[in-house]
Structure 1
Amino acid sequence: MDPLEALYKQLNAIHPIDAEAWTAFSAIWSPVRYKRKEILTAAGETEKYLYWVIEGVQRGFHLHGDKEATVVFTYPASFSGIIDSFLLQRPSKYYLETITASSFLRAPFTEVEALRKKHASLAEAMYRTLCYTTSGILERQIELMVYTAEEKFRVLLRRSPHILQIIPHKYLASYLGIDPTTFSKLLGSIKLP
Structure 2
Amino acid sequence: MKKFLLEIHQVPDNILDEYLSYWQEYTVPKKTVLSEKDKTESYLYFVQEGIQKAYFLNDEKQHILFFSYAPSFSGLMESFLTQNPSKYHLETITSSRFLRISYKNHEKQIRKHRELETLFRIFIEKILVGLMERHHQLLAHNIETRFKTFAKRSPHLFQLVAQKDIASYLRIDATNFSKLYNSVQI
TM-score (norm 2): 0.97
SS class of match (1:61): strand
| Residue equivalent to 1:3 | none
2:123 to 98, 118, 129: 129
Identify which of 112, 121, 125 aligns with 1:118: 112
SS in 2 for 1:17: coil
CA distance in 2, matches of 1:159, 1:23: 32
Matched with 1:174 is 168
Greater alpha carbon shift after TM alignment, 58-67 vs 75-84? 58-67
Cα offset for 1:65? 2.3
Q: Which runs of 5+ in 2 are unaligned?
A: none
In the alignment, what sits opposite 1:183?
177
Seq. identity, %: 37
Quick one: which amino acid aligns to residue 130 of structure 2?
G
Aligned match of 1:157: 151
Q: Which 4+ runs in 1 deviate beyond 6 A?
A: none
Q: Which amino acid aligns with 2:135?
A: Q
Q: Aligned-pair distance for 1:157?
A: 1.1
For 1:29 and 1:159, locate their aligned partners in 2 and report how far apart those are by CA, in whole Å. 29
Give the SS at the match of 2:172. coil
Give, in whole Å, the separation in 2 of the partners of 1:66 and 1:26. Answer: 39
**Which consecutive unaligned segments of at least 5 residues does structure 1 have?**
1-6
SS in 2 for 1:62: strand
What SS is found at the alignment partner of 2:44? strand
Letter in 1 for 2:14: E
Where does residue 51 of structure 2 map in the other structure? 57
1:37 alignment partner, SS class? coil
**Equivalent pairs, count:** 186
| Alignment partner, residue 81 of structure 2 | 87
CA RMSD after TM alignment: 0.9
Render the CA deviation track for 1:28-65: whole Å, top value 9, x for unaligned: 10001111101000000000000001111100001122
Partner Cα distance (2:86, 2:93) in 1: 19
* Matches of 1:162 and 1:97, distance apart in 2: 19
1:71 corresponds in structure 2 to: 65
Which aligned pairs between 1:7-86 and structure 2 lie closer than 5 A? 7-86=1-80
SS in 2 for 1:21: helix
SS in 2 for 1:59: strand
